[in-house]
Amino acid sequence: MTEVKQTSLSNEIDLIDVIITLVKSWKLIFGIVLIVGISTYFILKSQPKLFTTSLIVNSPKENDFAKITRNSIIKISPEYLFQTYYKELISPDNFKDFIKENNYLEKLFTDDSRTEEELLTEAAKLLKFEVILPVAGKTKGAPLPPQRVRLTYNSHSQANAVNLLNNYTFHTNKIVTSTLSSMYVNLKSASLVDLDEKIELLKINAKSERMFEITRKESLNSEKIKTLEQEKKALLDEAKAKRETKINRYKDALNIAQKLQIKKYSDTSDTSDTSDTSDTSDTSDTSDTSDTSDRSIQLQQNPDTLYLKGSDYLSTQIDILSSRKDDAAYLDSLSSIDKQIHLIQNDQSLIALKNRKDDTPFIKQLPQILIEKEKLASLNKDLPTFSSYSVFKKATLDGQKAMSKKLLIFTAVNFLAFIFSGMLAIFLNALKERNYINCKNEGELK
């Protein structure tokens, strides 16, 4: 029972024994750590130096932005312009294209056996961006667009990094300005096409309105002429009816004159008992004060005394009235109606509308559109040269070294060497004690 207990106790690790073992093996531990530390130091020292190069860009200057806003067809803000530039700046694809186009891989990675895609990915990882303004966390609500950005690139050759950063910001600006110039050209062209279509539409509408006005006037004039023709026909019918009535009256008077054998005009007054004779004549001894014309008028006003005109006169009148084919020449009011019809048939405003070849001068909105079109056409063919950013701090050869990780690596390696040497010392001590116990047991058996 006592032997089993002693065996279990001997298998347990005593912390004090471990510390004593480490202290006794300090030379081994120190030697391993020293050798590893010296090796690590020289290995790290042989590594090339790493430099940090930075560049700071701002939103565009007022005079550069004014070059764009001066053209009314481009409506953007400085914030939008710089935000567009920033998005293009942080694009990995844009940076990789720039690296390939300018052969920076050979300058940045000399004698590197990795593939081009791997080197491009590594180069993109070395480029860092930091938004300086607005300060993150100090604005409430939606984040504001960037106003100032720092670009940082770590490289073993600061000269290459300086050249890379300065050229990359300029390269990105060319892309943005090219995009805006294309937008400007397309927008200008589209605006001119839109104005031409608007002008054409106005012409079509003007022609349609003119044709509608022609139709309206023709319909209105037709109605007027129809009304006047009806009025004219009514007058002719009335004149014809009056003429026929007059012929019948003359015929009745002719019968009376023939029966009374009155061939010539007679001065004898009519003594009939008609109600209208009181107004016709006065045959008193005052014949020297009345004339023949007055008597003729009186006779015409009183049909019952018309026979006194005599059969010759009445026959002549009947023949004249019966042979008349048209009463229009004897109606003064018809000339006025015919004149109105003529004026309507020769409506000068209607003739002008029909003869109009071009409706352009009569379009009220057209002058303003033509001015706008002329203004657009007078703009430059392309946008003037401008910058979508401004340089706050240019990249320079300042010799600033990148925050080195060599000290961290050196410390970590030495710490691992210490752990390893300590474990090795414990292992060797345990092995030594086991050999000692085995030898002791063998001696007791003998």
Contact (CB, 8 A) for 344 and 337: no
Structure tokens at 423: 């474990």
N-to-C CA span, the chain: 24
Contact (CB, 8 A) for 33 and 421: yes
The pLDDT, as a whole number, for residue 44 is 67
Q: How far apart are CA 133 and CA 241, in angstroms?
A: 106
- CA–CA distances in Å: residue 393 to residues 81, 85, 305, 390: 20, 17, 130, 9
In the chain, where the domains are located: 203-362
**Per-residue tens of pLDDT for the chain, all 446 residues:** 444 444 444 445 577 877 887 788 888 888 888 888 888 877 766 666 778 899 999 998 887 777 777 765 777 888 888 999 999 999 999 999 999 999 998 888 887 888 999 999 999 998 999 999 887 766 666 678 899 999 999 888 888 899 999 999 999 999 998 998 888 888 889 999 999 999 999 999 999 999 999 999 999 999 999 999 999 999 999 999 999 999 999 999 999 999 998 888 765 444 333 333 333 333 333 344 344 455 555 545 465 788 898 999 999 999 999 998 888 888 888 888 999 999 999 999 999 999 999 999 999 999 999 998 888 888 877 777 888 899 999 888 776 665 556 678 878 888 888 888 888 888 888 887 777 677 767 666 55
Cis (ω within 30 of 0) for the bond into 384? no
The pLDDT, as a whole number, for residue 402 is 56
The pLDDT, as a whole number, for residue 302 is 60
Q: How far apart are CA 153 and CA 402, in angstroms?
A: 9
Q: How far apart are CA 180 and CA 360, in angstroms?
A: 36
Q: How far apart are CA 54 and CA 262, in angstroms?
A: 141
Structure tokens at 281: 């004549």
Name the one residue in this structure whose structure tokens are 């950063």: 165
CA torsion sign for 194, 199, 200, 202 is positive
